[in-house]
Amino acid sequence: MANIVIVGSQWGDEGKGKIVDILSEYADIVARFQGGHNAGHTVCFDNKKYILHAIPTGILHPKKTCIIGNGVVVDPAALIQEIEELKGLGVEINSSNLRISKRAHLIMPYHRAFDLGREDKKGESKIGTTGRGIGPSYEDKVARMGLCAGDLLFEETLRTGLQNNLQEKNFILENFFHTSNLALDELLDRYKSYGDRLKSHLSDTSIIINQAIAAGKTIICEGAQGTMLDVDHGTYPFVTSSNCVSAQACIGLGFGPKCIDGVMGVVKAYTTRVGNGPFPTELKDKIGDKLREAGKEYGATTGRPRRCGWLDVAVLRHAIRVNGLQTIALTKLDVLDHLKSLKICTGYKWRSEILREFPAEIQVLNELTPVYEEIDGWEDVTHGIEYYEDLPQKTKDYVNRLRDLLDIDISMISTGYEREKTIFVPDSLLSQWLNVTIDKKLISSL
């Protein structure tokens, strides 16, 4: 038995989808604990690309139970579309392998309208939201005026909630955003139909998870986005609207912290960010462009180009601390293959000070400059290497330097998009947690 939380350690897009996909083979349950369909996890195998938004990555494995927890906000229309698209790719989805918390809050059309309207009014100060209604849905949850997935099963509850909300929402849409208001009956009919479509998937998922824990099952808790987009611990206000850190797994799935056996952070071998906000190591030059093209750094959900930069150890120290990370999976190492030299940010210079930790103040972040350590690149091919001993020595030097700077175990190294292009570091914490020797032949044949 092992209950493992997997989180992003930077600004998201670290490759969590592939890592969770591989580890799903060793799990009984894969559960998503926060965020919405603004996330995008990409998994490649058998010459197919699977892009998941709200559904946990474990759905690509037969006989696994996937859970969308109460901490997730759900757009029923987008979820139904995702289900149908995955079915079209041959993925089996039924009421047994996909369970949705009745307590998960719903994203409504007025949430999307508010999201887009606010961004438009901010002009150059916009945050860079995907416009999917995630933030406004969380706002209504906290304001105690949200609608939950379980409400889809009760027409009068749904009608009353919509009536109360539309009084306020339509007034703001018409008088502040100057857009069309929304009709109660049309919304009610639409969301009743979503309820009919999803009712067989709706459950009290906290009960399912706690029963599985009591039975000694293995659970992978899957986060979306990354630590630096956490609403409390990220680069506020340029963040998402939920907590992306490991502690949210307990809240967003409904189990106690004593049940967590391990926390793994996923770390990209360089750094990227989508949307606006501070990014100390951003490269606005040919190297940044080269990283973007080599790494195919375009959003899985929006297609937006990602900003690219050098690895930032101060960011990772912050992620290790606030998540309690015990080990990491290092991804996209092969993207650095053809660079002659590499830089690692070890801290920042701000005015007359050297900062070794990531600052909380947005004003400081806007003024600092990174302090770099430069090391040799390997100028050799690591793409597709599956065993640590086969890596070039200079690649090992980079990995070892990162391990020394962070003082943390490294369990996995990804050298390509496909499942089999993954190195499992011998005697790592991950193998101890799962109490297995990761079978490369098994991974290659999944």
Say how far apart CA 296 and CA 330 lie, in whole Å: 17
Mark out the alpha helices in 133-246 (DSSP H runs): 134-142, 155-175, 184-198, 205-214
Q: 3-state DSSP call for residue 199?
A: helix
In this structure, what token pair is assigned to residue 183? 């009709």
Contact partners, residue 438, CB within 8 Å, separation at least 6: 424, 430, 431
Q: What is the full DSSP assignment across 219-283? A: EEEE--S-GGG-TTTSSTTSS-SS--STTHHHHHHT--GGG--EEEEEEESSEEE-SSS--TTB-
Residue 17 parent element (H or E): helix 16-23
If we measure between CA atoms, which residue out of 410, 406, 435, 441 comes closest to residue 424? 410
Q: What is the full DSSP assignment across 328-373? A: EEEE-GGGGTT-SEEEEEEEEEETTEEE-S--S-HHHHHH-EEEEE
Say how far apart CA 446 and CA 443 lie, in whole Å: 5
Say how far apart CA 31 and CA 58 lie, in whole Å: 8
Residue 298 per-residue DSSP state? B
304, 335 contact by CB (below 8 A): no
- Asked if omega into 237 is within 30° of 0 (cis), the reply is yes
Active site residues: 13, 41
HSE, side-chain direction, 13 A CA sphere, residue 381: 4
Q: How far is it between the farthest Cα atoms of the chain?
A: 66
Q: How far is CA 75 from the centre of its chain?
A: 17
Say how far apart CA 102 and CA 121 lie, in whole Å: 34
What is the rounded (10 degree) CA torsion for 348, 353, 359, 360? Answer: -150
316, 23 contact by CB (below 8 A): no
Residue 322 parent element (H or E): helix 313-323
By DSSP bridging, strand 341-350 and strand 353-355 are antiparallel
